[in-house]
Amino acid sequence: MSEPTAGAISPYEALGGQTFFTELAANFYRRVAVDPILRPMYPDADLTEAERRLCLFLEQYWGGPKTYSDERGHPRLRLRHAPYQIDVAARDRWMELMAHAVHEQELPQDLEDMLWEYLGGAAMAMQNI
């Protein structure tokens, strides 16, 4: 993600800032909590911290606060996900649940397309088996 030019708003702002990313992560993890494929991948009984990490990561990626890196260092997404067996079924379910969460946000089509370009690529990159 490149830095916005002077006077332009960042993708973070265009998407809706903190409120957008908080709601997106909450809507996604509400589904994960009851999903038979993804839920077993989370060792913690409470998904609150996983939800928070996703929110902070996405905020930072899209030009918001750098809280994720301040707290956790470089994202290293593939390395952080390496301990989990992410097969085609898990990848596809992640994309399905995220698609529902994104759809609930009722974004203009151009912003939804921009968001999905990243999310789809990230989901493909996390598959490790």
| CATH number of the domain that residue 72 is part of | 1.10.490.10
**For residue 117, is it left (φ>0), alpha (ψ between -120 and 50) or beta?**
alpha
Judged on CB neighbours under 10 Å (0-12, 13-18, 19+), 118 is middle
Give the domain range for residue 43: 15-126
Domain count, the chain: 1
Q: Which residue has the tokens 């203009």?
A: 108
Length, in residues, of the chain:
129
pLDDT tens profile 28-81: 999 999 999 999 999 989 999 999 999 999 999 999 999 999 999 999 999 999
6 in a structural domain: no
122 in a structural domain: yes
5 in a structural domain: no
Stretch among 4-8, 78-82, 85-89, 96-100 having the lowest mean pLDDT:
4-8
Given a cut of 70, whether residue 1 has pLDDT beyond it is no
7 in a structural domain: no
60 in a structural domain: yes
3 in a structural domain: no
- What is the Cα–Cα distance from 64 to 17, expressed in whole angstroms? 7
87 in a structural domain: yes
Q: Is the dihedral of CA 114, 21, 74, 99 positive or negative?
A: negative
4 in a structural domain: no
Q: What pTM did the predictor assign?
A: 0.91
